[in-house]
Amino acid sequence: MKPLLLDDRLGTLPDYPFARLTALLGAPSGPGATVMSIGEPQHAPPPLAAEILAREAGLWNKYPPATGTEAFRQAVAGWLGRRYDLPAGLVDPDRAILPVAGTREALFLIAQAVCGRRDDGKPPVVLLPNPFYQVYAGAAAMAGAEPVFVPSGDGPTGLPDYSTLPPALLERTALAYLCSPANPQGKVADTALLERTIRAARRHGFVLAADECYSEIWDQAPPPGALSVCATLGEGLSHVVVFNSLSKRSSLPGLRSGFVAGDERVIAAFARLRSYGGAATPLPVLAAATALWNDEDHVVANRDLYRAKTDLAERLLGGRFGFVRPEGGFFLWLDVGDGEAAAKTLWREAAIRVLPGAYLAGTGADGRNPGQRYIRVALVHDLQTTETALSRLGALLDG
Task: State the average pLDDT over residues 44-59.
Answer: 97
Determine, yes or no, domain membership for 3: no
CA distance 275 to 67: 9
**218 lies in the same domain as 247:** yes
Q: Which residues make beta-bridge pairs with 262?
A: 241
**110 lies in the same domain as 162:** yes
Identify the pLDDT of residue 98.
Answer: 98
Choosing from 246, 265, 296, the residue where a domain stops is: 296
**204 lies in the same domain as 96:** yes
Determine, yes or no, domain membership for 247: yes
Determine, yes or no, domain membership for 336: yes
Percent of all residues in the chain with a pLDDT value above 70, rounded to a whole number: 100
What 3 state SS string does 275-342 have? HHHCCCCCHHHHHHHHHHHCCCHHHHHHHHHHHHHHHHHHHHHCCCCCCCCCCECCEEEEECCCHHHH
Choosing from 268, 296, 324, the residue where a domain stops is: 296
Q: For residue 121, what are the domain limits?
A: 48-296
**302 lies in the same domain as 283:** no
Query: Helical H runs in the chain?
Result: 17-25, 47-55, 70-84, 103-114, 134-142, 167-172, 191-204, 226-233, 246-249, 264-277, 283-293, 297-317, 339-350, 383-398
**34 lies in the same domain as 53:** no
Determine, yes or no, domain membership for 280: yes
Structural domain count, the chain: 2
Q: Rounded mean pLDDT of the chain?
A: 96
**236 lies in the same domain as 268:** yes
Question: Which CATH number does the domain housing residue 221 bear?
Answer: 3.40.640.10
Identify the pLDDT of residue 120.
Answer: 87
Choosing from 271, 296, 321, the residue where a domain stops is: 296
Determine, yes or no, domain membership for 122: yes
**107 lies in the same domain as 245:** yes
Amino acid identity of 383? L
Question: Which CATH number does the domain housing residue 35 bear?
Answer: 3.90.1150.10
CA distance 41 to 81: 26
User: What confidence tens digit (pLDDT) does each residue in 15-41 have?
Assistant: 899 999 999 999 887 778 999 999 999
φ and ψ of 177, to 5 deg: -95, 140
**370 lies in the same domain as 317:** yes
User: What confidence tens digit (pLDDT) does each residue in 61-94 have?
Assistant: 999 999 999 999 999 999 999 999 999 999 999 9
